[in-house]
Amino acid sequence: MTASRNPQAGPDRIVAIGLLTQRDLDVLGSGFRRSFSVEDDHAFADLLEALDEIEEVSVTLPPG
């Protein structure tokens, strides 16, 4: 599959990619249908470890 470089490429253009747990998918429910399972692979272990070490950031939005 190739992604279009045109940002106006229609309704099926990719707008986000995420790493979700099964619990995340359960919370999203049946309305979230396009997930692709991946095998347990250690090719990205260093990246996942670095992501796990990131501290949570709180964001306060202005009212309105």
* Amino acid residing at 14: I
Note the pLDDT tens digit of each residue in 4-50. 556 566 777 888 888 888 999 999 998 888 888 888 888 888 988 99
Contact assessment for residue 17 and residue 3, using Cβ atoms and an 8 Å cutoff: no
Q: Rounded CA gap, 19 and 31, in Å? A: 17
Say what the pLDDT of residue 39 is.
83
